[in-house]
């Protein structure tokens, strides 16, 4: 008889969280949802609680938690409603929980993801910021507490699948030369640089292959998403910047590749559906059905590849610079990007101002060594403050 593994989903109302629950629903004998968390999405959370009946539901926002609690009571569900970061940390480290899906977008996901690693959980990492902002600290916590770290980003999951099973990060003995990180190129791959200044938030969020949230869709359009993934790949696979090659692959069928010293290149292919990497990580090392349509290679017919354009997409270069600089630089990069993307989505700055704003913040804030999570959060705070001050300056000039 299979014993159901207990699961906490951090960010259950987002796209990754919803896909995770879709996979879990297909295997109710294997997985039990112990806790669900969200920020403001009360109705979605209520719907999920009605279906999965978790022990805990956590809303980061206190007011939203109170509203959810009233709805939960009215529905007669035996789910305890909590609020705040401390509660996120609590459900990420519950003794009975085996697996934690870390899918909260942005810096808000760092503390509960750390809590899961400190508790020695299977951490399914979809939150980029944990590795981007606090890479070496987080990896040390994973190792010290015997946690298991499995990547959920389709690209990193593909690399994980294509590496040797016993890969330890030693390139000299594993036969691995480098990793090839694929990117669709986003919605503006064929748009001229001259036209980028006029693109709208709606256009930037219209990804040609993937259905994602607004923030990650804009990151894909600027290719900062791939920049953050470069930094993630460094920590996940012990890859030096020169061992990470970005490859534009518009079909999004090959999710990433690994190049070996004997000339072999191993790739993981599949339809662009997040349920594939989620199912792989949930059941690892087994394979389970997850509702994804099998890839029809005859229908695909062709696979195209291009070199990335660093002039058109300067966020890529900024990410490489942050990785090579080290210390607090990646945290500064990430914070400035979050503010810039938020500002673009609110139509406060044009699309092309996103990388300019990030670059200016990186130049203003002094890079420091990172020793603790508090150091990371301080760098994040300073960068956000500088970004908002820069935004105010830009607004005053326009007015």
Do residues 160 and 227 share a domain?
yes
> What's the CA gap between 177 and 299, in Å, rounded?
32
320 lies in some domain: no
Do residues 263 and 341 share a domain?
no
CATH for 56: 3.40.50.720
Domain termination residue (choose one: 151, 174, 196):
151
CATH for 391: 1.10.1740.10
Domain termination residue (choose one: 151, 169, 185):
151
Number of other residues whose CB lies within 10 A of the CB of residue 373: 16
Do residues 23 and 40 share a domain?
yes
Structural domain boundaries enclosing 343: 326-399
DSSP code, position 349: S
Do residues 308 and 170 share a domain?
yes
> What's the CA gap between 256 and 158, in Å, rounded?
5
292 lies in some domain: no
Region for 247 from its dihedrals, namely left if φ exceeds 0, alpha if ψ lies in -120 to 50, beta otherwise: beta
Residue 211's pLDDT is 64
Q: Is 399 exposed, middle or buried (0-12, 13-18, 19+ CB in 10 A)?
A: exposed
Q: Are the CB atoms for 123 and 149 separated by under 8 Å?
A: yes
> What's the CA gap between 291 and 300, in Å, rounded?
19
> What's the CA gap between 75 and 53, in Å, rounded?
11
Structural domain total, the chain = 3
241 lies in some domain: yes
Do residues 330 and 393 share a domain?
yes
Do residues 16 and 130 share a domain?
yes
| Residues 6 or more apart whose Cβ sits within 8 Å of residue 325 | 367
> What's the CA gap between 217 and 255, in Å, rounded?
17
- Low-confidence residues of the chain: pLDDT under 70: 1-2, 209-212, 395-399
Q: How far apart are the first and last CA of the chain?
A: 68
Do residues 31 and 141 share a domain?
yes
Residue 169's pLDDT is 92
Q: CA torsion sign, 201 to 207 to 210 to 216?
A: negative
Residue 58's pLDDT is 97
The per-type count for the chain, helices as H runs and strands as E runs, is 17, 11
Give me the helix-helix angle, 224-237 and 214-222, nearest 10°: 90
Do residues 28 and 162 share a domain?
no
Residue 370's pLDDT is 93
Residue 70's pLDDT is 96
282 lies in some domain: no
396 lies in some domain: yes
Collapsing DSSP states into helix, strand and coil, what is residue 328?
coil
276 lies in some domain: no
Q: Which two tokens stand for residue 187?
A: 């919605």
Q: What is the pLDDT of residues 303-323, one digit of tens each?
A: 999 999 999 999 999 999 999
Do residues 143 and 179 share a domain?
no
Collapsing DSSP states into helix, strand and coil, what is residue 7?
strand
Q: What is the pLDDT of residues 59-87, one digit of tens each?
A: 999 999 999 999 999 999 999 999 999 99
231 lies in some domain: yes
Do residues 53 and 127 share a domain?
yes
Domain termination residue (choose one: 136, 151, 166):
151
Of 56, 52, 55, 54, give the one whose Cα is nearest residue 26. 52
Residue 2's pLDDT is 67
289 lies in some domain: no
Give me the helix-helix angle, 373-398 and 110-118, nearest 10°: 170
Collapsing DSSP states into helix, strand and coil, what is residue 121?
coil
Residue 213's pLDDT is 74
Collapsing DSSP states into helix, strand and coil, what is residue 23?
helix
DSSP code, position 12: T
Do residues 159 and 307 share a domain?
yes
Do residues 73 and 162 share a domain?
no
Collapsing DSSP states into helix, strand and coil, what is residue 270?
coil
């Amino acid at each position: 008889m299979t014993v159901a593994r207990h699961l906490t989903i951090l960010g259950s109302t987002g796209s990754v969280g919803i896909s995770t629950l879709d996979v879990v629903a297909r295997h109710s004998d294997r997985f039990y949802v112990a806790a669900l968390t969200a920020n403001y999405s009360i109705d979605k959370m209520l719907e999920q609680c009605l279906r999965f009946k978790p022990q805990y539901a956590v809303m980061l926002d206190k007011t939203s938690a109170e509203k959810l609690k009233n709805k939960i009571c009215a529905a007669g569900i035996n789910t305890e409603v909590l609020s705040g970061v401390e509660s996120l940390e609590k459900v990420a480290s519950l003794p009975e929980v085996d697996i934690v899906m870390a899918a909260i977008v942005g810096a808000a996901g760092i503390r509960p993801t750390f809590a899961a690693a400190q508790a020695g959980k299977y951490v399914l990492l979809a939150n980029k910021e944990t590795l981007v902002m606090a890479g070496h600290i987080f990896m040390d916590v994973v190792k010290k507490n015997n946690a298991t770290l499995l990547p959920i980003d389709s690209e990193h999951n593909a690399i994980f699948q294509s590496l040797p099973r016993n890969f330890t990060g030693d390139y000299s003995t594993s036969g691995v030369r480098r990793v090839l990180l694929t990117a669709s190129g986003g919605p503006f791959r064929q748009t001229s640089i001259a036209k980028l200044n006029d693109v709208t938030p709606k256009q930037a969020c219209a990804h040609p292959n993937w259905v994602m949230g607004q923030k990650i869709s804009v990151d894909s359009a600027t290719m900062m998403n791939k920049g953050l993934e470069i930094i993630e790949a460094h920590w996940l696979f012990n890859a030096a910047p020169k061992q990470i090659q970005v490859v534009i692959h518009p079909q999004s069928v090959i999710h990433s590749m690994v190049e070996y010293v004997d000339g072999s290149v191993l790739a993981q292919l599949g339809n662009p559906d997040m349920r594939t990497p989620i199912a792989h990580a949930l059941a690892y090392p087994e394979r389970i059905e997850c509702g994804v349509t099998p890839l029809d290679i005859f229908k695909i017919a062709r696979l195209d590849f291009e070199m990335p354009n660093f002039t058109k997409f300067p966020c890529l270069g900024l990410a490489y610079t942050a990785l090579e600089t080290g210390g607090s630089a990646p945290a500064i990069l990430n914070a400035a990007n979050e503010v810039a993307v938020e500002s673009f989505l609110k139509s406060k700055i044009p699309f092309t101002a996103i990388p300019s704003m990030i670059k200016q913040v990186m130049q203003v804030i002094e890079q420091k060594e990172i020793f603790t999570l508090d150091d990371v959060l301080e760098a994040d705070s300073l960068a956000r403050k500088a970004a908002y001050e820069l935004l105010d300056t830009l607004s005053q000039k326009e007015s």
